[in-house]
Structure 1
Amino acid sequence: MNYRSGLPLSMRPRVDGPPPFTTLVELTWHEKRIESWIRFGRQNYEQVLDRHRRVVGFAPNHVFAFVRWAANDYGTVLSRIDIVRAIDHGEPFQTLPFVRPGGDILLKVESWPKVARVLEHIDAIEAKRIDPCDVATDHWRHVHHRIAASIEPHPYSADRHAAWLKRRSAEP
């Protein structure tokens, strides 16, 4: 224990590392082979590992969309989008490849046609000048369940967004 800072040495932030309790996502980009990217999210950390890989970080309770696509000589082998809420220290979480330690998975969709529907839904939200990071977390769960059932998700309205922002500001 370092008594000057009041934190154990293992919990003190490194000078060159991510802030404490940051959810880290490893991104890889090999054109037309392995492509992973963040569709939306407010990063609080970034480290370039090499020309094909980097690590980005998100503060607790921030929502981000993580898209993964991979192909081989015969075509696409993986298409997936996950919308995740970064967790805080001590919170339970689900594990997710390339996300450390994991997060609260709000939406998980596989196969390109379904991923494309989610991306179109995100575009529609942005067209209303709403940042997808600020959308009600329950809405992303709704989109997940509707797409899993092959039903069109309800659009996210400005009224619902205003109600969500009001509710979120009233939480302790």
Structure 2
Amino acid sequence: MQPRFSSSSIEVELIWLKDRFQRWLRFGQPVDEIAHDRRRRAVTFAPGAVFALIHWEAGDYGTTLSRLWVLRAVEAGERFDRVPFVNPGAEVLLDLKTWVKVRAGLDAIDAIEALGINPERVCLDHWRHVGGRIAVAEPPSPYTRVRHRAWLSRKRLGLIDEDAA
């Protein structure tokens, strides 16, 4: 059974140890930030915020771990998934492991940004689609301006349940 969220914000731990260990945001707008020192900080997201988190580690012989998540900060009372470095957790929209898959996910984000669309505002189902396709080594369908306008129109008209989207 998934736990339920009872707070009003999500905290994400970020770190930057050059050439060894890095965790950073690819996109997302935190509402607060606390710098612990030059290498470590924590950012906070409001409920409903969508953001991408990248985790990378290296050893003596190169990359040992690559991971990309696209996450949605949940509202109080919502169920959530436990995600490393995200306290207490978030809704996982996309979860990719290995550099090849992470690179494909980053390419999907780049393609959305090339259209002039903020990845935070993309249809939540698109992130699930991207993760599913990349997981089976297939290219995801491109996100288009037409699909984005349709998503925004359905949201504006209240024709979708964002929690189910």
TM-score by length of 1: 0.87
Identity of aligned residues (%): 47
The 2-side partners of 1:79 and 1:110 are apart by: 6
Q: In the alignment, which of 120, 138, 160 is matched to residue 147 of structure 2?
A: 160
The 1-side partners of 2:115 and 2:35 are apart by: 33
Question: Highest relative contact order (Cα 8 Å, sep 6+), 1 or 2?
Answer: 2
- 1:22 deviates by 1.1
Which structure 1 segments of 5+ residues have no match? 1-10, 12-19
Instruction: Provide the secondary structure at the position in 2 that maps to 1:103.
Output: strand
Instruction: Provide the secondary structure at the position in 1 that maps to 2:47.
Output: coil
The 2-side partners of 1:125 and 1:151 are apart by: 18
Q: In the alignment, which of 138, 141, 149 is matched to residue 151 of structure 1?
A: 138
Q: What is aligned with 2:67? A: 80
**1:60 equivalent in alignment to 2:47:** yes
- 1:72 deviates by 1.2
The 1-side partners of 2:146 and 2:10 are apart by: 31
The 2-side partners of 1:89 and 1:74 are apart by: 43
The 2-side partners of 1:113 and 1:139 are apart by: 19
User: How many positions carry a matched residue from both structures?
Assistant: 154
Q: What is aligned with 1:99? A: 86
Q: What is aligned with 1:127? A: 114
C-alpha deviations, 1:13-59, integer Å up to 9, x for none?
Answer: xxxxxxx6111100010001001100000111100011110001111
In the alignment, residue 111 of structure 1 is paired with which amino acid? T
The 2-side partners of 1:153 and 1:131 are apart by: 18
Q: What is aligned with 1:14? A: none
Q: Which stretches of structure 1, 4 residues or longer, exceed 2 Å deviation after superposition? A: none
**1:111 equivalent in alignment to 2:98:** yes
